[in-house]
Each structure stands twice: as structure tokens, then as C-alpha cells.
Structure 1
Amino acid sequence: MTGDPVARVAAALDRIEAADRPEIWISLRDRAVALAEASALDPSLPLAGLVFAVKDNIDVYGLPTTAGAPSYAYRPGADATAVARLRAAGAVVIGKTNLDQFATGLVGTRSPYGAVRNAWDPARISGGSSSGSAVAVALGLVDFALGTDTAGSGRVPAALNGIVGVKPTRGLIPVTGVVPACYSLDCVTVFARDLALGRTVAELMEGVDPADPLSRPSSLPVAAPARPRLAVPTDEHLEDLAPGWRDAFATAVRRFAATGAEIVEVDVSPLLEAASLLYGGAFVAERYAAVGAHLEKHADLIGSDLDPTVAGIILAGKEKTAADWATDTARLAALSAAGRVALSGCDALLTPTTTGHPTLADVAADPVGANARMGRFTNCANLLDYASLAVPAGFVGGLPFGVMLTGAAFTDRALADLARRFANPGIDLFVVGAHLTGQPLNVQLAAAGGTLVAATATAPSYALHVLDTDPPKPGLVRVGAGGRSILGELWRLPADGFGAFVGAVPAPMAIGRVTLIDATSVSGFLVEPAALENAPDISHLGGWRAYLAGVAVTSGAAGAAVTAGAAVQR
């Protein structure tokens, strides 16, 4: 990382003071202590000097952990494993952030420390439960932040504040030192303004921790296929999105298709039914097991220190029986199997991250109903052991709109690969000769990160010539009237790969604009006119492959004649 760590930490503290958003924070590091830590950093560390915030249900040594309830506060004896790994990588904790109390909610208003206002419109919710962490990142107060996610708390706030939310496969990041919401389902998550940083931070936290029996080994890096299949919900599951959001989602789907993805509509009913079990089934008993005793002991504080909506949800978990748990576990297994069938053959599911963006007043008027609507597409992920990633996808009415990629366990890196293509859809390049699939220079396209989009052809206004090069190449030139349609392939390259590829193109070849058969204009291989002198015109063949096939036939016939002549001589 670049920059002086001490200066970065000092600047972050100054930004926090200037922002005047006290509801984001529950506690902040002492300036002198944070600066001393920064001054002692090894600048070669991967996150050296980056500043981060931590949701206040995750332990940071030296700061209290409250989980959003002052009566619950304790002083941890050590950092949470996730925090310790990031500090070892050079990042500096700047403070603890506000949350929906006991990580129970998706709205960001259920806290005695105050409702966390949205980064774009203070009259609207920030989303929860990782509200403070998301807003701190969106306002540029920190480089990244940690949240947690049981029902969608690492994704909904990302969508509503226009940032990236990384929810890893359960267990990849240990939850040692995290106040449990539902211990078997909880995940530590990352908020960042940049996908690459978000993924880097997540991967630095991965790895088994003996203190967390549910932690799992890191998965091997796996890229998404060149032409992935993306499932999207059928129309009935998108009908009651906020005004303008359905159109925004359709635009996002088209953008994914433009990266080369095949879009498939699927019935996601099994996933949505599974989502309803998170709060409507016996799994809420885990919330009671985590902090129910504290709520019962301090029942007199409900309505002041303890949020009444949160208390009602958690205390209701005590009513669930072992039989309820067994029944819902069996039901979840059946829905999981049905979900696998629905998504069979697909590499990921693409959905809106949430359903709308309520105002603070909307949530105050209907705290339970408004919250329930927020988790329609997120609630199922941890129950079904899915990885998920929320990314920005534009704006509706001046407010951020986001989409979410969800896939099977351990597809984390493939989902990130898909999201990168969406964020940077790349540059299209039309090729007609030695770079075609199976031809000798095609490896150059692959090395530049290219993916094949489609076989296509030019508009009928081009000529193709055979150039005297090694290996043999054709030269495409626009001739206008009297020209022909020439077959080729359309490839898509990332911007950096395209730049490197074009920089290596040798004369007399050139990259210019080529009009395709559908009238679209793309970058493509052309040739300098001087190279066409004495270059045979093969336009009538329609393409380079037809020319090569003719050469092969001629060579074969000549070879047969030589063999026959030799036989006569013998």
C-alpha cells in the first residue's frame, strides 16, 4: 500500500471529526494510540496503513464490545481472530460501529445509540444490522469495514449505500470473538468501495481457527467460466420492487449478458421459502441461546437500553421446541434440494440485493414488516450454505441500487470474477484471421484475459486479402460499395488486457473501428493500405477459414499427384 501510515490514520480521524456523524460510532480509538500503532507498522505488509472500522459485535482489544446494548458491554481480552489477522497484515482499527442491537435487523434503526442515517439521504435508512460499518465506508471515513451477516446484514447496507458487500461461505472466516446472533449461520463480512480491496481483505481473514469448530479451510481460486450461466428470478418474484428498481435490475441483467453470460429465468420459490425459516422457524432459537438470558435478566431495560423489537424477536425463540427444530431442519433440507434442482447448471443466481429503500419514518411506522421485506433475497444464503456478493449497479431516483450474486459454498472467488466483469465489462474486439479460435495467435487473446462472445461477420462493405506474413494473416480493409461480409469472431477483453494486446500489434496490422453485420461498431483488426500491394483478394471466399480450407485441399491434391508420379517411376 502507498502513503505514510501515520498520515493516513491522522487523516481518517480528521475526516471522522469533520463528518459530524456520531451515530455511526459506538467507540473510537484514542488518537495517540492509533498513531503510535501506525508509526510502528512494517510498510511492506499487504494492508500497511489502511484504516478500518469494526462492527461492535466483533471484539477489538482495548475497546468495549457492546453488540449495540450498553448493559451487555464487556472488555475483550484479545482481538477477534478476523481482526487479529487484519492487524497482522498492517491495517489499523479506528473504531467500533453502531448496529441493529445484537445484530438482529436489516434496517439500522434498532439501537439505543441512534438510527444510522443513509450516506446518500439522511432521511432514509442505512440498512442493517451492519449499519455504521457500511456508512463509514460509503462516506470515505475508512478504507474498509467489517460487518457480520446472518440474514443479509453484510449485503443490504452495501446496496443502500452504494458500496461492495462481501459475504463469504460460512466458516471461511472464523467467528471467534464475535457475539453470536445465530452461531451456526453467522459470517464476518467486508464492506469496501472497491471490489478488489474487499476480496483481498476477505481472503486475508480466511483460514481454520482451532477455537472455532465451525471454521473451514480456504477454498482454491476458481474463475467463472468464459460464458457463465446466470439464473435470474421469474417475473412474479420481482413484481413489488420499489418504483424504478425492476427496470434497474433489467438493465443490470443486460449488462451481465453483455459480458458474455447466458441468462436463464428460474423459479426461486424454494429459496424464498427457505428464507422465511430464518425468523419464522425454529432457527430463531439460536438468537435466544446467544443473548436471551441477558434480556431476561435486564427485562426492566426493554424500551430504553434494550430495543423492544429486538427483544421481542429474541425472547420468542425460547418458545421453540426440539421438535420444532427437527421439523424445520428436515424442511430446510428438502428446500435445499429443491433449490439445487432449480439452479442446476447455473453458475450463480443474480437478484436485486433487496426490495426497496424505506425512509426512517417508514420503518418507525412498521418496524417488523419493513424489516421483513428487506431480506427477501438475502435471508436464504446462510441457511443454504451459499456464498454471496453485493455490488453497486447504478442509481434510481438519485439513490444507489445494487445487485447480488449468490452461489454454492466455496464459489466466492468465481462470484468475484463475475462481479469484476460486470463492473468492468471490457472492450470488444473483432478478429478475422490468425487470432480466431484454433489459429496460431489465439493464445494471445487468452493471455490478455479475452473471452469469446460470438461468431459474427462484418457489414457487406469489406475486402479480405492474404498478406505475406509469418504466420500467414489476412488483411481486412473497408471498401464500401462492392464490398462483402467477412466472417470472424467477436472477443471481449478487460481494459488493461486490451491495452497491452493492442500495444503489441505489429505493423502492418492496425486496430480500428469495424462495422458488424448488425450495424454495431466495434474495435477490430484492419490493415495498412500499403500492405495490400500484390496481396491476393480472397473476399469471395467469405473468410479466412474458407481460404485455409482451400489451401489444405490444394496441398492435399498436390501431394497425391507427387505420390502417384513416384509410384509410376517405380
Structure 2
Amino acid sequence: MAAQTSPLTDLRQAYTTGRRTTADTVEQVLTELAGGDDRHVWISTVAEADLRARAAQLHGVRDRIDRLPLYGVPFAVKDNIDVTGLPTTAGCPEYAYRPERTAPVVARLLDAGAILVGKTNLDQFATGLTGSRSPYGSVESVLGGGLVAGGSSSGSAVAVAAGSVAFSLGTDTAGSGRVPAALNGIVGLKPTRGLLSTTGVVPACRSLDCVSIFTADVTDAATVLGVAHGVCPDDPWSRPLPAHLVEPRDPATLRLGVPPAGQLDFFGDSGQADRYTLGVAEVTRAVAGTLPIEPGPLLEAGDLLYQGPWVAERLATLDEFLRARPDAFLPVTRTVLESGRRFDAVDTFRALHRLRELRAWTDRLWDRVDVLVLPTIGTTFTLAEIAEEPIARNLVLGRYTQFVNLLDLAAVTIPNGSPRTAARPASP
């Protein structure tokens, strides 16, 4: 059987052979946008005339397609990332502003020939993992059944999962570039901090924030990452991709660190637990071996994010606006932000010291394994279930994602077969 090509490869081949033009792609996008937005994916979109002008511009340089790795590829960005010509709202209409400069990470994609379609819905101020904390409407998973889409990059994930765009950008502080991917059956890639510049991104927790990538498959995620990464001189958090980490590894040489299923909590979701076990068994067949690891230190690091002083870092950007316009915030967003006021400097240093110890433990782990294999989510919820317990169930969704940025790790969510029921998607 011939190997399937990726969606980006398919599109590129269609352009190269003349079976499709950039105008065809834009008209397809416009037709879909005209059909309405029942899923509440979009906050703003590029004007029809501007999209057609972009198609014409790219058609005029079609002889340079070999130098434009994202030629004619439609994409979306989360609406906490700046793009000139469109407002940045961060999910709060009263906060909206018109940026004077496009975020460098978006500019790199445009320079590579991509076509921006618009800005997507999110949990307000990127605070949440549900996709339900937005005045622009709650986003439902493409799996239906009233399931949450996951957040905070809900619109970006659904735009890809629904086929509206070929890829999208989100952001990730606690898992926002991975939980929505898991809940919509797509790939979510979160690189280490600073690899994708956060200049032009509304901060959530600035020392931890990452730009993330949603695609239909891993190959496309790697392609977009290859274009989007790069040091931004005016970004103090920006850093280069270490050359020694770019070399591909034969999967047969990899050692996997796998927590025994009995040490993981699936919150009563037997379908998700079964899929995790089967997924681990499948990847184990392709690698050199596996080693059981203790997940406790990782999960302890993750607990520091919302149960420690990092929640106070969210106030560093928003405190003045929050004090002046508390009514502009959704009640749940305001509750989370204001919980940061209970921490003082002593709490912060204690947490930093403990995190350093946990990071040293993690560094030693890499002497024994090359890749950690954990579930992205232990279970999921419907929008109604989240409304009943918005904060507690949000923490459940982030159980296996929150430690990653605190420990400065890279992570990728990949679909893990068909779940036992459509109501419980499964991803490692």
C-alpha cells in the first residue's frame, strides 16, 4: 500500500501540477465562511477582497513555489496573537486593540507563502483548558455530543479538525496547544519555550508561554515548525533551535519512559485508560525498549502552575486592566486571576526552589530515556459538565500537560486510534 501524503504535501502537489490555483483555495475558504460559524470558531476574518488579493499575489509568483514552503496554504491564528489589519481581543472585547505590527512568528509564515484566513476563538486571556470561557461563544469539539473542544486554543484546533484551514497557531501555557488537539483528534505540537517567538502575543504567564501548532499530521507540524522558528532580536525569551537536536533519530534506537497505567488517573474513564494502554503497546513495538517511570515528580511540578505562585504571574500583564475594568472579565476568568493575589514573594521563592529540584530530577531522567509517553488527557467533559464545575474539571483536563512548560520540555499530542465511544477521544 502506498504511503499517504500529508495535507500540505497534497496541496503543494496540486499547485505544482496546475490542478489547483490559490484562487481556488481562497474561494473554497470563502464558501465555507459564508456557511456560518455554528461552532464559534472565528472572532475575526480577513476581508474577502484581501483574501482574493493575496491569492492573486501568490499566483503571480507561482514560479517561485520551490522557495515558498507554505505556498497557498490557508491557516488561522489564535486571537491573542497580533496581525495587522485585524483586532487582537484575547477573548475580551473591551481589551481589543489594533496592533501596529504582525507578530514575527506569523510574519514568517506569510513570508513562506501561507494565506491567513482569520483569528480564532479562545478561552478569555488564554486562561482555561475548556474552550467554554469566551464571550464569543463556547466552542464544541468536532466529535459532537456537546463535548468541550478544549482550550484555550479552542478555535484554532477546531479550524484544523473541521478542515477549514490546513494548520493553525495557538498558544500553550498549561496545555492549550495539546488538550484541544486531543479533544478534536488532530496533532498539537508545543516546542520548548522561546523556540517560537512570543513577541506580539498577549502574555498569559510570560515566563512559560509558548506558541503552538495544530495540524492534521506530524509531518505537517514539523514543516510549519521549520518555517516558524527563529530568533527574534527584540524578544528576550527567544532562543535558537540547538543544531544537535535537529538530527533525526531512528525510532528503533529510542528508549521510552512509560508510567505504569496503574499510576495514572483516568478519572473513571475506562475507554481512555484502555486506549492509552493499547497506544503504548503500539509504539513500544517500534522502539528499542521501554522503562517504567514514576510520574509523581512530573505531576507535582504541574500542580505548581495553578496551586502555586505562577498563577500570580498572570496578573503581571492584566492587573491594571482587571482593577479598572473587572466587569470586562468573565466571572470564572476573574476568579482564576484574582486567586493569584494570595501568594507573596516568600511563596514564590519556595516554589522556585522546589521546581528547581523537580527539574533536576527530570534532567536525570533523560539519562535513561529519550521520550516520555503519557496521555494528553485522562478524560473529557461536556460543556454542561464543565459549567457545573468550571475550575475543578479544568484542572482535570490539564493533569498531564501542566508540568511541561514549567520543566521547559517539548511535547506533541498525536491521535491514538478510535476511542471506545465517540464521547471519549483518546490521545497519548
TM-score (norm 1): 0.68
Partner residue, 1:5 = 22
C-alpha deviation, 1:402, in angstroms: 4.0
Determine whether 1:123 maps to 2:150.
no
Aligned: 1:73 with 2:116: no
Farther-moved stretch of structure 1 (146-155 vs 113-122) = 113-122
Which residue in 1 is equivalent to 2:40?
Answer: 23
State which of 273, 278, 303 in structure 2 corresponds to 1:276. 303
| Structural mapping, 1:244-393, within 5 Å | 244-299=271-326, 301=327, 305-393=328-416
Deviation at 1:285, TM superposition (A): 1.6
Q: Give yes or no for contact 1:394–1:400 (8 Å, CA) kept in 2.
A: no
SS state of the match for residue 391, structure 2?
A: helix
Aligned runs of 1:141-290 on 2, under 5 Å? Answer: 141-220=164-243, 221-225=246-250, 226-241=252-267, 242-290=269-317
Give the secondary structure class of the aligned counterpart of 2:25. Answer: helix
The more displaced of 313-322 and 53-62 is: 313-322
For structure 1, the 5+ residue unaligned runs are 405-570
Aligned to 2:79: 56
> What secondary structure does 2:118 align onto?
strand
| Structure 2 CA distance for aligned equivalents of residues 165 and 402 of structure 1 | 13
Q: Distance in 1 between matches of 2:177 and 2:364?
A: 27
For the residue of structure 1 that corresponds to 2:253, the secondary structure is coil
AA paired with 1:398? A
- SS of equivalent to 1:244: helix
Give the whole-Å Cα distance in 2 for the aligned partners of 1:399 and 1:258.
28
Q: Which residue identity lines up with residue 32 of structure 2 in the other structure?
A: R
CA contact (8 A) 1:391 1:402 kept: no
Secondary structure of 1:386's counterpart equals coil
CA distance in 1 between counterparts of 2:288 and 2:319 reads 46
**Offset at residue 335 of structure 1 (A):** 1.1
Contact 1:350 1:403 (8 Å CA) reproduced? no
The separation in 1 between residues aligned to 2:424 and 2:165, in whole angstroms, is 19
Q: Which residue of 1 aligns with 2:9?
A: none
Cα–Cα, structure 1 residues 86 and 309, in superposed 2: closer, same or farther, change >3 Å? same
**What letter matches 2:255 in structure 1?**
R
* SS of alignment partner, residue 378 of structure 1: coil
Aligned mate of 1:35, from 25, 35, 52:
52
How far residue 264 of structure 1 moved from its aligned partner, in angstroms, is 1.5
**Contact 1:130/1:147, CA 8 A, preserved across alignment:** yes
Post-superposition CA distance 1:207-244 (Å, at most 9, x none): 11011011001232122343211011123432434221
Number of the residue aligned with 1:89 = 112
Counterparts in 2 of 1:88 and 1:54: CA distance versus 1, 3 Å: same
Please tell me the residue identity of whatever aligns with 1:237. Answer: Q
C-alpha displacement at 1:343, in angstroms? Answer: 4.8
SS of 1:230's equivalent? Answer: strand
* 1:403 aligned counterpart, secondary structure: coil
Over the aligned positions, Cα root-mean-square deviation in angstroms equals 1.4
Contact 1:159–1:400 (8 Å) recurs in 2? no
Q: Is the 8 A contact 2:157 2:168 kept in 1?
A: yes
**In 2, Cα distance between the equivalents of 1:263 and 1:98?**
39
The total of aligned residue pairs comes to: 400
User: How much does 1:319 deviate?
Assistant: 3.3
Aligned to 1:507: none
Distance 1:210 1:92, change over 3 A: same
Q: Following the alignment from structure 2 to structure 1, what is the Cα–Cα distance between the partners of residues 311 and 27? A: 42
Say which structure, 1 or 2, has more relative contact order (CA 8 Å, 6+ apart). 2
Q: Equivalents in 2 of 1:400, 1:196: separation in Å?
A: 25
Query: What are the Cα deviations for residues 363-416 of structure 1, in whole angstroms up to 9, with x where unaligned?
Result: 000001110001111001110010111100112112564434xxxxxxxxxxxx
The aligned residue for residue 556 of structure 1 is none
Structure 1: which amino acid aligns with 2:48? Answer: R
Structure 1 pair 402–168 and aligned structure 2 pair: CA distance change class (3 A): farther
Instruction: Please tell me whether the aligned partners of residues 83 and 103 of structure 2 are also in contact (alpha carbons under 8 angstroms).
Output: yes
Equivalent residue letter for 2:46: R
Q: One-letter code of the match for 1:201?
A: V
Map 1:378-527 to 2 at 5 A: 378-396=401-419, 397-399=421-423, 401-404=425-428
- How far apart in 2 are the matches of 1:368 and 1:250? 28
- Other structure's SS at 2:373 match: strand
Identity %: 45
- Rounded to whole Å, the distance in 2 between the matches of 1:307 and 1:99 is 13
3-state SS, counterpart of residue 314 of structure 2: helix
Alignment partner of 2:415: what SS? strand
CA distance in 2, matches of 1:22, 1:230: 38
1: distance between equivalents of 2:119 and 2:54? 17
Which residue identity does 2:247 align to in structure 1? Answer: V
CA gap of 1:37–1:59, structure 2 versus 1, over 3 A, is same
Report deviation, 1:122: 4.6
Q: Which has the higher strand share?
A: 1
* Alpha-carbon distance in 1 for matches of 2:138, 2:86: 21
CA distance in 2, matches of 1:48, 1:400: 36
Q: 2:91, 2:135 within 8 Å by CA — same for their partners in 1?
A: yes
